[in-house]
Structure 1
């Protein structure tokens, strides 16, 4: 039987350059690299038999890709679409498993707190959704819609009827505004709170310093050396921290912190010093505000809304203290805890910069609008819930 003549290949400069990048590029797939080499050899006028010898490919393979490129250009070098293996599960079965994942286990009388992929696979088979399915298959289905029923996140409703008003006052102070008027010279903003129950845990064996391929090691067993409270006041715009340790929290320890700050300059002679505090028992309500003003007439107490300590910038400083000073907790006694905290204050104040607070009143309005939609609108049925 006569053999069909090899298809002639003629390349322009741009096509030749593109094929060279495909044939010799380090990131090109091997199959595309070999196909590009076939075309380049063919463009030099080589026979199919010679190309097969030089590339190590079968003669029929060379003939195929030479002909495909001659007929379709670069598009002919790509694999054609294939039907692939028929799906083992129907779209209905996949949707039913996703629907099950979007329901709490308690709603299905399953004694679990939350679903996992193995438990979902087991429940799907128990319900007759499918006769057999693996946990990895269920995981792949859930991944398509970013469903992670094994995770959970805590949240809380807004219970303060004056949430927006109180939050707006705090955010305005961060933006150097009070009652619509910009803050001037001699007006300062202090964020204050208490970090309770900092324990002195004396490890029963010395802590080992990190070494090559070894992290720091802290013994699990410890002796209790008592606990203290750390009170701190943070100047929002000057990035200055004033702290003290007390045996416990309460009105008197908090007022001791206020006196420590207000007895020094520039706060003693300031026009106004705004004290942003949460609704803790040490500084809650109008009585606390009146007590502060009675002791220091130029001090104004501003409360954050209930359950909104995240609006208090001193909490950011406390998180820094927790990471850099307290954890891992290894102190011989409370004196060492206090000394470490005071030394860190000096170290922090030497290089501190104001926090880049980006949450504004506009962000507050967006947050409240989203919460209103969640609480006012009836919950929608899951997008995977199937009609009965």
Structure 2
């Protein structure tokens, strides 16, 4: 300890005091040798004599007295876990400064800073300023419909593996893709500067983008139409089903949502009468997340449409068509990891939640 390169300076000096004492030197002599105060030498020499090596370590200190009690901390966290509207506060959600202000107003504490509130909330990972939107499952056949789609993604239909001549296609429409011609040219990014796009624009019209995605082959078929509807959707179906290997396939499963252009049994009969080998599979109501085409549409939104700066609708059509070719050249199937087992776990958690909070379930059903 007295001569170690990694020993803390204070421990090194205390060890030297002990070694000098072991050689029979007086406290005054040790103080001169180590350039420490006489009382300091006396303290560490006595501590070593009484406790040995452990006596050379610092004792635990009480530190500054706590300014807030555990009850005050708990009451602040409880307040953060309530909706502001429930407390009569005209806020949509809490922030740390607003919580600090409310704590003082409720006389929970005489004064408190926003940073203190933030530190308390961080201990329990509480973030009342954040929110997520969600929708309650209302489809009575949710398990059957969603389970069938999960099985198709896993290449299973009615408990039987899909054959090599059976395909799964997800389809949907991306409505109202606008052409916004900016009043001033968009500026390219530069050093320490993001791309700049003018806020003002002239409207150049809007179109609908319809796309079909082969889940296992990772191939996209797209087209643009003036609007959505039965005819535009059937044009997409004809575009896909007229090509091989779909034209001669045993089955082509079309996964679609409950939009007006492909809703209900009428849409199923219309598809089957046109293409007998096509099978329409509807997602559960309000469960578009089970349709993999939504993943592709999110890619289109991020990489093609945003920021929206097009001179006319023709430029949108050309870019979407070019992006399809670019995407299909390197596309890999999406790594879909949500299985029927995960679906059962989700429904079990929802059942437990509704059992514990029956009032929420009744409100959701009423809505």
Give the structure-1-normalised TM-score.
Answer: 0.83
In structure 2, the residue matched to 1:360 is: 339
| Cα distance in 1 between the residues matched to 2:90 and 2:217 | 54
In structure 1, the residue matched to 2:34 is: 52
1:278 aligns with 2:257: yes
| Cα distance in 1 between the residues matched to 2:33 and 2:42 | 9
Q: 1:306 to 1:66 in 2, by over 3 A?
A: farther
Q: For 1:39-82, what per-residue CA distance to the aligned partner results, in whole angstroms no more than 9, with x for missing partners?
A: 676798698457635xxx76765776677678453x55653221
| Cα distance in 2 between the residues matched to 1:66 and 1:340 | 82
1:241 aligns with 2:220: yes
In structure 1, the residue matched to 2:299 is: 320
| Cα distance in 1 between the residues matched to 2:208 and 2:322 | 16
| Cα distance in 1 between the residues matched to 2:315 and 2:44 | 77
1:34 aligns with 2:9: yes
Report deviation, 1:127: 2.1
Moved more, 178-187 or 111-120: 111-120
| Cα distance in 1 between the residues matched to 2:284 and 2:345 | 17
| Cα distance in 1 between the residues matched to 2:304 and 2:139 | 34
In structure 2, the residue matched to 1:3 is: none
Moved more, 229-238 or 134-143: 134-143
Q: For 1:286-323, what per-residue CA distance to the aligned partner results, in whole angstroms no more than 9, with x for missing partners?
A: 11111111110000001111111111111111111111
Q: 1:275 to 1:34 in 2, by over 3 A?
A: same
Aligned partner of residue 198 in structure 1, secondary structure: strand
Runs of 4+ more than 4 Å apart: 39-51, 57-72, 75-78
In structure 2, the residue matched to 1:227 is: 206
In structure 1, the residue matched to 2:232 is: 253
| Cα distance in 1 between the residues matched to 2:37 and 2:171 | 79
Report deviation, 1:94: 2.0
Match runs of 1:193-232 below 5 Å = 193-232=172-211
Report deviation, 1:37: 3.8
CA contact under 8 A between 2:153 and 2:215: conserved in structure 1? yes
Q: 1:86 to 1:296 in 2, by over 3 A?
A: same
Q: For 1:13-48, what per-residue CA distance to the aligned partner results, in whole angstroms no more than 9, with x for missing partners?
A: xxx8xx43x34xxxxxxxxx3135436767986984
Match runs of 1:100-119 below 5 Å = 100-119=79-98
| Cα distance in 2 between the residues matched to 1:150 and 1:42 | 56
Match runs of 1:275-354 below 5 Å = 275-354=254-333
Report deviation, 1:157: 0.7
Q: 1:349 to 1:38 in 2, by over 3 A?
A: same
Aligned partner of residue 147 in structure 1, secondary structure: coil
Report deviation, 1:112: 1.5
Match runs of 1:158-197 below 5 Å = 158-197=137-176
Pairwise CA RMSD of aligned residues? 2.5
Aligned partner of residue 279 in structure 2, secondary structure: strand
CA contact under 8 A between 2:14 and 2:56: conserved in structure 1? no
Report deviation, 1:128: 2.2
Report deviation, 1:219: 1.2
| Cα distance in 2 between the residues matched to 1:296 and 1:207 | 46
Q: For 1:75-94, what per-residue CA distance to the aligned partner results, in whole angstroms no more than 9, with x for missing partners?
A: 55653221122222222222
| Cα distance in 2 between the residues matched to 1:203 and 1:103 | 44
Q: For 1:97-131, what per-residue CA distance to the aligned partner results, in whole angstroms no more than 9, with x for missing partners?
A: 22222222222222221222222222222222222
Moved more, 136-145 or 221-230: 136-145
Aligned partner of residue 234 in structure 1, secondary structure: strand
Q: 1:44 to 1:104 in 2, by over 3 A?
A: same
CA contact under 8 A between 1:188 and 1:273: conserved in structure 2? yes
Report deviation, 1:134: 2.1
In structure 1, the residue matched to 2:101 is: 122
Question: Aligned residue pairs: how many?
Answer: 351
Gap regions ≥5 residues in structure 2? 24-28, 360-367
CA contact under 8 A between 2:18 and 2:48: conserved in structure 1? no
